A and B are shown apart, each in its own frame.
Chain A
Amino acid sequence: MADHLLQVENLRVHFKTYGGEVQAVRGVTFHVDRGETLAVVGESGCGKSVTAQAIMGLIPNPPGRIVDGQIRFDGKVITGMSKKELLSVRGAEIGMVFQDPMTALNPTMKVGAQIVEGFVRTQQVSKEEARKKAMEMLRLVGIPDPEKRVDQYPHEFSGGMRQRVVIAIALANNPKLVIADEPTTALDVTIQAQILDLLRELQEKQQLSIVMITHDLGVVAEIAHRAVVMYAGIVVETGKVEDIFANPKHPYTWGLMRSLPRIDGVEKERLVPIEGTPPDLFHPPKGCPFAPRCQFAMEICEQQMPEASTFTEGHQAACWLHDPRAPKLEELVAAGRQT
């Protein structure tokens, strides 16, 4: 337990709005080991980005607040740190890559200056050294001609190049962990692949840990070692990527898999969407939040949250189907429910 780089335990984050309090994250637990890529998967509004912001200490307060739970990073408890203490963690130990590279860079500041801004603060280096470091970072993220690029402004870069700059910013202080919040969502497919390759390569080179927040299972398969599947503010399934893809255990994960197009399908298959919408997080259900959309929902599902059942090592899913008292899946299918 102690050697996890990042440990998130029972994290709860609420946001006050005019309509009431939104329970965006409702008791999330996961960990990231050193040198590991963890994917956090889920649809829009499931709380994955809020979880990332909580780790960075960037939950805007008000209206947001961490109600319960603990985040430990490298032996230190981050939750409850003062603003000043957080400054030494942000950037220096945890870097962040944002979703939209077109707006994530300051349009009136030179790219090089933006890359080393955090570095200069912590290292107290001269202008000359800072410039050198900026060029080194540009080279590291694969931007050609860094001598020229370092003095250019963001509008002189393409989207993919800007995302490389954003990655360079995140890495400039040699952080142990990088949180990438949908880093490829706003990019063209070809550029997406390049950025993923870059992240994977950097991870191996620098022994980084990465938390990859995404709704794209393709990205998960491409880059992650383990995955956490989130739904309506809770973790429904977690495990090694191979296990989750080969042997998913939660009905929501099944739904995600079946809504993926397959290139190797022998026969023509229709994509199956998950019917319905996620629950209202102003008044979250007391049972399993997926129950209203689930083909296999039983009475108990509406009443009580399921405990996580463990399958292979580290592969867990929170679903009543895996309770020893539950009917076998085959019986349910035979009774007319479809997988």
Chain B
Amino acid sequence: MSRYLLKRILMMVLTLWIIVTLTFSLMHMIPGDPFASESDQLPEQILLNLRAKYNLDEPLPMQYLLYLKSLVMLDLGPSIKSETRGVNDMIKDGFGSSALIGLQAIAVALFFGLLFGTIAALNRNTWIDYAAMVLAVLGIAVPSFIMAPLLINYLAIKWPLFPVATLTSWKHSVLPSLALAFGPLAIITRYMRTSMIDVMNQNYIRTAEAKGIPTFLIVVKHGIRNAILPIVTFMGPLIAGLLTGTFVVEKIFAVPGIGKYFVDGIFNRDYPVILGTTVFYSAILVLIIFLIDLAYMFIDPRIKLSSRGR
């Protein structure tokens, strides 16, 4: 077990290194540079000095090594566009909001997705099933940037239950969380339905029936735990994506999350910000996938994690 953990952690570091390298090279392939918009107004010498300050006058391999060096010390560097705040500060500011909304969205999507999927599976080919599936198709088909204005229109303006935008209290986080939750909720519902139908046709469910266990308990004790496995698989990317924020929804609700910094960073060729947010997102993704692999072991005892084999 400890050997497995060590191996996994090494793999995670290796993965992150590859991501940093790829992002670094791709980023420098796009034309333009951080000072493109100022270059006509500022004197030559100032521009040179600015470049020197951010090490942009060094050859690329040198810049790469310098970035790796600061990364090892967990310093994501300064932001070129912001005078006062480094990338670490930006992430610190933004991640809290993004994570709060993301976590709530995950909770809503998981709870209702599993519930609706199970109910649909148990009432297969009845109107309940069809209703759940229509809802699921809608959830997948309607993007969050349509969902968000609809939610604002009905739950904030016509029926003023929640505030429209910004994030100053928990109440403010409800609408963006809901807008984010719909897509994943729909996907989870569909997966859970398929998975549950499959499980309920298994022989061990018949064994449980033959023991005289009522249907509700069979679903709870034998059905859900077995049906949930395929869902756990795609929870990794989903959670990472929701935690680190989605730009569109954050923009609509004026939530000060990470997504905004990332997109602004790309527009401004703010190299440290692009790299920093990408590395941060990747680190979270890699970590969550690792945690999910660990979770597998608890859900399905047949899965043994070990460094041997393969």
Show the binding face of A for B, using Cβ within 8 Å. 56, 58, 86-92, 95-96, 98, 100, 103-109, 114, 117-118, 121-122, 153, 155, 166, 169-170, 172-173
Contact = CB atoms under 8 A, between A and B. Distances in A.
Contact of A153 (B208, B211, B213, B301): B301
Interface in B191-236: 202-204, 206-214, 221-222, 225-226
A118 B211 contact: yes
A100 B203 contact: yes
11 contacts: A90-B211, A98-B203, A103-B203, A108-B225, A108-B301, A109-B221, A117-B213, A122-B212, A153-B301, A155-B302, A170-B210
A153 B206 contact: no
Nearest to A87: B212
Contacts of B203: 98, 100, 103-104
Shortest beta-carbon contacts, A-B, top 5: A91-B212, A118-B211, A90-B212, A96-B210, A103-B203
Contacts of A58: 206, 209-210
B216 to A, nearest CB: 11
B231 to A, nearest CB: 14
B206 A98 contact: yes
A107 B301 contact: yes
A90 B300 contact: no
Interface of B: 202-204, 206-214, 221-222, 225-226, 299-302
Contacts of B207: 96, 98, 104-106, 114, 166, 169
A91 B210 contact: yes
Given A98-B207, A117-B208, A173-B211, 11 more contacts: A87-B212, A90-B209, A91-B211, A100-B203, A104-B206, A105-B207, A108-B226, A117-B213, A153-B302, A169-B211, A172-B211
Contacts of A173: 211-212
A106 B204 contact: yes
Contacts, number: 76
Nearest to A152: B301
B304 to A, nearest CB: 10
A117 B300 contact: no
Contacts of B212: 86-92, 118, 121-122, 173
Nearest to A90: B212
A108 B223 CA distance: 10
Nearest to B203: A103
Given A87-B214, A108-B300, A103 B222 contact: no
Contacts of B222: 106, 109
A199 B299 CA distance: 34
A223 B2 CA distance: 52
A105 B206 CA distance: 9
B226 A106 contact: yes
B211 A104 contact: no
B132 to A, nearest CB: 20
Nearest to A56: B210
A19 B226 CA distance: 33
B213 A121 contact: yes
Contacts of A169: 207, 211
Nearest to A84: B214
A107 B212 CA distance: 19
A88 B226 CA distance: 26
Given A87-B214, A153-B301, A155-B302, A107 B209 contact: no
A295 to B, nearest CB: 39
A33 B206 CA distance: 26
Contacts of A114: 207
A160 to B, nearest CB: 17
Select the residue from B206, B211, B221, B226 with max chain A CB neighbours within 10 A.
B211
A168 B207 CA distance: 12
A64 B291 CA distance: 45
A169 B204 CA distance: 12
Nearest to A118: B211
A119 to B, nearest CB: 9
Contacts of A103: 202-204
Contacts of B299: 108
A107 B300 contact: yes
Given A153-B301, A153-B302, A105 B204 contact: yes
A100 B207 CA distance: 11
B299 to A, nearest CB: 7
Nearest to B217: A121
B108 to A, nearest CB: 26
Contacts of B210: 56, 58, 90-91, 95-96, 98, 170
B196 to A, nearest CB: 14
B204 A107 contact: yes
A107 B204 CA distance: 8
A105 B299 CA distance: 16
